[in-house]
Amino acid sequence: MARIRQKSTDGGCRNRLRRPAGWLWLWPVFALLAPGTGLARAPLGEHPVVWYARDDGPVEVPEFDEPALVPYSVNSFVGRPFSRFFNPGRFLRRLGSGEAARPAGDVNALDEVVNSTWFTNRIGLRELGDDELRYGAGLGQPFADGPDRSAPWTIIGAKTAGVTPGFKVKDARGDTWLLKFDPPVHPGMTIRAGVISNLIFHAIGFNTPVDRLVVFSRDQLVVGPNAQMKLGREGKVPMTEANLDSILTATGSIFGGAYHALASRYLDGIPLGPFDDQDTRSDDPNDLIKHENRRELRAVRVFGAWLNHFDTKMHNSLDMYLGQPGQGHVRHYLLDFASTLGGYADQPVPRFGYEYGFDVWPIVGRTATLGLVEDRWVQLERPAGLDEVGLFDAATFDPGKWKPDLPHSGMANLTDRDGYWAAKIISAFTDADLRLIVEQGRYEDPAAAEFMVRTLSARRDKIVRYWFDKVPPLDFFRAADGGADFVDLAVERGYAERATTRYRYRLSVVDEDRQARERAAWRETKESLVPVLGPDREYLPGVPAPDERFRYLAVTVQVDRGRGWSDATTAYFSLADGRTLAVDR
């Protein structure tokens, strides 16, 4: 059952930090140094709720930019964390609200992320059909099932260096694909994980390429006349059919006499390099919100924890310019999901997801205890007999302690509201949805597919309970006949029992600044319905009546599941037409 933090009975906001009166002198400083902390909210009005960002206006083609990995890593481990630690605004915001980061900048009045060139609301706000779950970014496209098979795929380039080889191929339709194989010692592990995680991230709402698991024979590949292959220090050399045979044999990705690979379609447009997890792109006038303040990028910490997508560095993203030069705009993609679901290269690294690549405090802890205190990840083992599955489990998983390999500026700004939003989306994935998506990985062993569905489901449930405990999951407020209703996501999605849940609400009329003229007394109920009008369409006794200034209805709700009343969630309604105008958490 979801556990809700206790709250005082006066209905006020929880004090996350007990603040002595002596801190009050800092409040003017707080207001000056930490603007945009969420204290000032947009006025209520009859205007519609914003659901689309205007970030696709025509711009000139930005310059390609891809910072080197080493400087980026050093900055991620040292420069940016120190900058956050010594930021006075973060310190003062923590004193004021309990959270160091300012509220996300890309959410609307209903506390939902708006659709943009970064993110499109999908499973979090609507039910997805089977085909959308199955095909992801390829839905409705001629390449939805992968490269065209009406003729052999022509290899136009190859990579043999590193742990996993790959081919750049062109199909009969003219589409370019990257064929990626598993590490030779772990056939089936990463390519299947890459397909599954790609589909999940697309269903969540991110822009992703089309990644499909393809099964083919040797005669499906031919070496193009100008194909070259990269051989480490020797650089690029002409590729031959004999080279192709040698590379295919070395992959180990052979099941039942056929080759298995992940086929990733090259994105349309002009590549601009990866986007950073901090600041904005200076040569894109549409990029106005700092990336660390975008909720969907903050929430990658929650989504990444679910799938153990530890490799979230900026180099696994890509900006693409879509449209004619000077008339197009930039779209932002996440890509390369092979290092997920416990997949890894040639050697297992149990700490992935449990520690940063360089994590000071765990190192200090192991040194101080002489290694006598065992880390959680030491217990992690691959499931016996399932060769296509990596180091992935639910038993050692702790949603609040998950970490990527490189510190991430967006994740560092994750607030409780951001985490709740992510968990709400994750809770929308049913076991049937997960089974359908896992099927696209085409595991050879049915037991491996069943293990993956079961583990994804268990990790989902841990994440949802963790974040629903922090923020009461009362959502989707709307005007109902004679009142207002809401959805208790914990009850609706099986994380709490309706029989042991009760609510209390109070009504008030407020002005455009959310200031109340009067508030009704608290009333308890077992239903997720707040009555306002009687059968005669008159206000019920005790319901404050609106006037010219205080013309908006505020409905404040709390939930109790046996541990005391939760924090309050307030929805604001237009009494003129019954629309939901805003939600405060």
pLDDT 10s digits, 525-580: 999 999 998 888 788 888 898 898 999 999 999 999 999 999 999 999 998 888 99
Cβ neighbours around 87 below 10 Å, total: 14
**What burial letters (b/e) apply to 206-219, b meaning 16+ CB within 10 Å?**
bbbbbbbbbebeee
399 residue type, one letter: P
- In which residue are the tokens 């499909």 written? 212
Q: Are 319 and 332 in contact (CB under 8 A)?
A: yes
Long-range own/partner contacts, residues 379-386 (CB < 8 A, 24 or more apart): 380/350, 382/342, 382/348, 383/451, 385/447, 386/445, 386/447, 386/448, 386/451
Do the beta carbons of residue 479 and residue 571 sit within 8 Å? no
Over the Cα atoms of the chain, what is R_g?
A: 26
Nearest of 162, 163, 189, 188 to residue 391 by alpha carbon: 189
Q: What is the pLDDT of residue 62?
A: 97
Quickly state the pLDDT bin for 206 (edges 50, 70, 90). Answer: very high
Residues 556, 554: Cα–Cα separation, whole Å = 6
Over pLDDT 90: what percentage of the chain?
A: 71
Task: State the pLDDT at residue 161.
Answer: 62
Taking the C-alpha atoms of residue 166 and residue 105, their distance in angstroms, rounded to an integer, is 39
Structure token pair of residue 365: 């802890």
Bridge partners, residue 206, by sequence: 119
CA neighbor of 470 nearest in space, from 5, 104, 7, 16: 5
* Residues whose CB falls within 8 Å of the CB of residue 74, separated by 6 or more in sequence, listed in order: none
Please tell me the pTM assigned to this model: 0.91
The pLDDT tens digits of the residues spanning 216-255 come to 999 999 999 999 887 767 778 899 999 899 888 888 889 9
Three-state DSSP class for residue 9:
coil
Checking phi first, is residue 549 left (phi over 0); if not, alpha (psi -120 to 50) or beta? alpha
CA 344 to CA 338: how far, in whole Å? 8
Domains of the chain, each with CATH number or no CATH? 474-584 (2.60.40)
Does residue 26 carry a pLDDT above 80? no
DSSP 278: S
Q: Which amino acid makes up residue 520?
A: A
DSSP letter at 271? E
